[in-house]
A and B are shown apart, each in its own frame.
Chain A
């Protein structure tokens, strides 16, 4: 492990269009009390499969969905990736494992996850903020809002 890393830093992360995507990884150790709060969430969401990963600020839900768990991103970065990585919206009845779901509230991309079981009984793999990862029903999580599903496509590059 490299030990001279900054507590907060940005990785080189590019879209398919080779544009830098804003991101930040937080290497602080989990604060006291975080594990207890995670346990509270696990008791509240008893139908979810809570993965023994986290709590950590090194990546968030968007980092899991778009950046292989390496960093955290905010809403504008997600919107940029949706545009530049050739994602196409799919209706809920067409959703397949491997598609992604975005939870929006107003202008904010509040949450995202990867579909691991498709329609009709959708299951999502996502990370809950700084807390742990969970596999959950699309509405069985702490995040509300308008949900949109996307599939990455293999369109010709836009030059």
Chain B
């Protein structure tokens, strides 16, 4: 994945016209290129490309907007920990990187994923083992509360981060 693979005309115009970082975020969230990136690549992949792209200062308008495209794509993917890591990348050559990252972090619900191994022996009392096809489920913590737990299982202290 690199910027030559995408038509960044719209995103470049957004960057050129942005008087504020909120304007840039808003326009990039609606940009089809950014939306496609977040759908077609994992947030980890995008973060890897972002890390490489900000090592060198931009020479062109497209290179200037590309890190913001990647950052917003990570935000749209919903992976809070990848967004946190991306926000910490050094970005002295990009005028809005810190502001954009901080704004996205502030508006993203903190979500962490954890794989939980479940076996009949660690079910809560009264919960029936339904013989699922796998005994591993992924649960997510959104906004500080565990959610998306399958109702047919109960998780005890045996967890695997």
- Chain A contact residues, CB within 8 Å of chain B: 8, 24, 26, 31-34, 37-38, 40-41, 55, 57, 60-62, 72, 74-75, 105, 107-112, 128-131, 142-143
Binds A, one of B30-38, B53-61, B110-118, B124-132: B53-61
Within the complex, the shortest CB–CB distance from B108 to chain A, in Å, comes to: 17
Q: Does B62 contact A (CB under 8 A)?
A: yes
Tell me the total A-B contact number using a CB cutoff of 8 A. 70
- Give B1-32 interface residues, CB cut-off 8 Å to A: 12-13, 15-23, 26
Option from B15, B16, B26, B64 in Cβ contact (under 8 Å) with A38: B16
- The answer on a CB contact under 8 Å between A128 and B17 is yes
30 intermolecular pairs with C-beta atoms under 8 Å apart: A8-B95, A31-B61, A33-B60, A37-B12, A38-B16, A40-B13, A41-B13, A55-B16, A57-B95, A61-B19, A62-B19, A74-B21, A74-B22, A74-B99, A75-B22, A105-B23, A105-B26, A108-B20, A108-B22, A110-B22, A110-B23, A128-B16, A128-B17, A129-B15, A129-B16, A129-B18, A130-B16, A131-B16, A131-B17, A143-B17
Chain A residues with CB below 8 A from B16, complex form: 34, 37-38, 41, 55, 128-131
Nearest 10 Cβ contacts at the A-B interface: A33-B61, A108-B22, A129-B17, A32-B60, A60-B19, A31-B61, A61-B19, A74-B20, A37-B16, A33-B60
Kindly supply a per-residue 1/0 record for chain B positions 40-65, scoring 1 wherever the CB is within 8 Å of any chain A CB and 0 otherwise.
Answer: 00000000000000000011111110
- Give B59-83 interface residues, CB cut-off 8 Å to A: 59-64
| Interface of chain B, main secondary structure | helix
**Given the interface contacts A26-B95, A32-B60, A34-B61, does A75 sit within 8 Å of B20 by beta carbon?**
yes
- Distance of A38 Cα from B62 Cα, bound (Å): 14
Chain B residues with CB below 8 A from A62, complex form: 19
- The answer on a CB contact under 8 Å between B19 and A110 is yes
Option from A32, A57, A109 in Cβ contact (under 8 Å) with B20: A109
- The answer on a CB contact under 8 Å between A33 and B12 is yes
Chain A residues with CB below 8 A from B61, complex form: 31-34, 37
Chain B residues with CB below 8 A from A105, complex form: 23, 26
Residue of B nearest to A107 (CB): B22
- Distance of A13 Cα from B20 Cα, bound (Å): 18
- The answer on a CB contact under 8 Å between A111 and B19 is yes
- The answer on a CB contact under 8 Å between A33 and B20 is no
- Distance of A111 Cα from B23 Cα, bound (Å): 9
- Distance of A95 Cα from B115 Cα, bound (Å): 62
Residue of B nearest to A76 (CB): B20
Chain B residues with CB below 8 A from A110, complex form: 19-20, 22-23
